[in-house]
Amino acid sequence: MINDLLFVYGSLLSADNEFAKYLSQNAIFYGDGKLIGKLYDMGEYPGAILSDDATYDISGSIVRLNNPEQVLKILDDYESFGEDQEQPNLFVRELLPVITSDGAINCWIYLYNLSVAGLPEIRSGNYQSYIKQK
């Protein structure tokens, strides 16, 4: 069985995003989480990359997907991930440990797959707070 947990940190948390609405109808909130990494402002959405520097983390939510294979297929298209998408993919989906109050748990996450050179870093690691202040 495919892992049914997904860590979301950006546009999939926005109430006015149609794919966030789709996700909310096809998943239940599991808990808050953090990923060791850095967050960048891509303009209309953020992009996360992994980092070895534990002083940086990305805040987000973990959701349990009702039908993981179906939901991930829809989200893969939204995130421009997959063999049928433009190569190299804009995002890649990886299964990584996300830190929760109960310890680390493996979740799917979409990571930015292109260069972040010259892009503004979201130092707080919290996209929701960042866009409110923008």
> Given a cut of 80, is residue 134 above it in pLDDT?
no
Cα dihedral across residues 130, 91, 68, 106: positive or negative: negative
Provide the residue range defining the domain that includes 82: 5-133
Query: For 92-130, how does the pLDDT look when each residue is reduced to its tens digit (9 = 90+)?
Result: 999 999 999 999 999 999 999 999 999 999 999 999 999
Query: For 75-100, how does the pLDDT look when each residue is reduced to its tens digit (9 = 90+)?
Result: 999 999 999 999 999 999 999 999 99
Q: Within a 10 A sphere around the Cβ of 129, how many other Cβ atoms?
A: 12
CA distance 23 to 10: 13
Cα 2 from chain centroid? 18
Which CATH number fits the domain that encloses residue 115?
Answer: 3.10.490.10
Domain count, the chain: 1
Query: For 7-24, how does the pLDDT look when each residue is reduced to its tens digit (9 = 90+)?
Result: 999 999 998 899 999 999
